[in-house]
Amino acid sequence: MEHREFEPLLKAVGAARHVRAPLAIEGGGTRRFYGREIIGEPLSLADCRGVVEYHPTELVVTVRSGTGVDELEQELNANGQMLGFEPPVCTPGSTIGGSIALGFSGSARPYRGNVQDFVLGIRLLTGDGRIMRFGGQVIKNVAGFDIARLMVGSLGCLGIILEVSLKVIPRPQYECTLCLEIRDADQAVSRFNELTGQPYPVTAASWLDGMARIRLSGSEAGVDAAAKAIGGTKIEDDPFWHQINSQKHRFFSDGGKIKKVSQKPSVPVFAPDRPVLVDWGGALRWYREETGEAELKETVAERGGWLELFRNADRAHEVFALPNPAAMRIQHRLKDVFDPDRILNPGRMYSGL
C-alpha cells in the first residue's frame, strides 16, 4: 500500500467520522489566531514530515506537510533556491502544510505570484477517509481538475494536506531596496504602478510612515541599472521585508486588532492619516486598532475589495467577507464532496461550513 505511512492519520479520521466528532487540523500550531474559533479535537501533522523528493534542476520539491518552513527553506537555500511566495507569518515550528492551507502570500505576490501559483501537486486525506493525489511533480500539467490549487487557502476545511509538490525559484544573485520619501500613500502607490508597468526587476513595493520601499532582485548588473533609473536611497539586506513578512515589525506588535484589506492598487488608500501599512505594490493594506471594522467595511463596499479580520477579532462571528450566495452554495457543495460528515475544521472559515 503506497499510503501505508499515513495509516495513523487515516485511523484518526475514521474514528472521528464514526462519531461525527470535529477535528482541528494542526501543523505546528503557530497560527491558531487565524480564522474563526477552533473547535474539535486537535489532529497533529507533526509526524508527517520530511522532504520526499527534491531535484533542484527540475525546480520542484515534494515535501510532507508537517515539515517546518524554516527547515525546507534551509534545504532550498543550500541549493541556491527559495519558495517564490515567501511564506509569511511564520515562526519556528510553522509548517509548509499550514502555509498552503492558510494561503498567505508574501510581499512578492504581485510580481512572482501567490501561493497557488507555486503549487503543482498534492496528496490529500479527505474527510471520508480517502487518500488521493492530484496534480503532479511537473510544471506543466493539465490532466484532471485542479484540486491541488483548490486546497490553497481552504483552511483545512476540505481535506488534510499530507504532501505537496511545489515549484521553487532560484534565489536572486543580488537584491537591494530603494527607499523613497513619499509622504502620501496614494502618491507612493501610483509610483509603484508606474514602475511595475515598466520592465524593472521589482519583487516588492511597500509604503509605511512616509517611506516607500521598492525591492529589486536579479543579476547585479540588471538591478544596478534599474536602481539608477528609479532613484532613491539604496540599501542592501533591508531587514524591513523580513519584519513585515513575519509580522514582527512594530506596526503589528501592539496586540490590538489587525485588519487586512485587499483592493485594486489604484483604489485610494482609506484613512492614510492613521496607521496603515501598504504592501503588494498597493493591493494590500494593513490596518490596526485605530481604524474600525465598520468604516473599513464601508470603504470596501463602496470602492471594491475585501476585508479580513486578521488578528484579535471576535471569532465567534464571521471574520472573512462572504462570497455571494451563488458562490456560497458551491462552497457548501464542495464541502459535502470532500468532507461529507463535516468533521474537518468545521466553521473555521465560515459559520456552518
Contacting other proteins within 149-188 (CB under 8 A) = 149-154, 157-158, 165, 169-173
Q: How many residues bind other proteins (CB under 8 A)?
A: 94
- Residues 12-51 vs other proteins: string with x where CB under 8 A? ----------------------------------------
Phi, psi (rounded to 5 degrees) for 166: -125, 145
Q: In the complex with other proteins, which residue's Cβ is closer, 91 or 198?
A: 198
264 makes contact with other proteins (CB under 8 A) = yes
121 makes contact with other proteins (CB under 8 A) = yes
- Residues 63-82 vs other proteins: string with x where CB under 8 A? -----------------x--
Q: Which stretch binds other proteins (CB under 8 A): 14-22, 224-232, 238-246, 290-298?
A: 224-232
Among 198, 233, 253, 351, the residue binding other proteins under the rule CB under 8 A is 198
Distance of CA 24 to CAs 21, 108, 113, 152, 192, Å? 10, 30, 29, 17, 40
Closest separation between CB of residue 175 and other proteins, Å? 13
Closest separation between CB of residue 45 and other proteins, Å? 18
Site for other proteins in 309-348 (CB under 8 A): 320-324, 326-328, 330-331, 333-334, 337-338
- The SS3 call for residue 23 is strand
Based on C-alpha coordinates, what's the Rg of the chain? 21
Residues 6+ apart with CB under 8 A from 241: 107, 177, 204, 206, 213, 215
Closest separation between CB of residue 93 and other proteins, Å? 26
- Residues 287-316 vs other proteins: string with x where CB under 8 A? -----------------xxx-x--------
Among 218, 272, 346, 347, the residue binding other proteins under the rule CB under 8 A is 218
Q: In the complex with other proteins, which residue's Cβ is closer, 95 or 165?
A: 165
Closest CA to 66 of 80, 52, 82: 52
Phi, psi (rounded to 5 degrees) for 186: -65, -35
The dihedral built from the CA positions of residue 6, 12, 17 and 22, taken in this order, carries a sign that is negative
The dihedral built from the CA positions of residue 85, 118, 61 and 196, taken in this order, carries a sign that is negative
Q: Which stretch binds other proteins (CB under 8 A): 13-21, 33-41, 69-77, 261-269?
A: 261-269
The one-letter code for the residue type at 349 is M
d(C-alpha 63, C-alpha 149), whole Å? 16
Closest separation between CB of residue 95 and other proteins, Å? 20
Closest CA to 274 of 208, 324, 351, 340: 208
1 makes contact with other proteins (CB under 8 A) = no
Residue 4 DSSP code: G
Q: Which stretch binds other proteins (CB under 8 A): 26-34, 67-75, 262-270, 288-296?
A: 262-270
Phi, psi (rounded to 5 degrees) for 171: -70, 130
Q: Which stretch binds other proteins (CB under 8 A): 16-24, 26-34, 248-256, 278-286?
A: 278-286
d(C-alpha 278, C-alpha 267), whole Å? 12
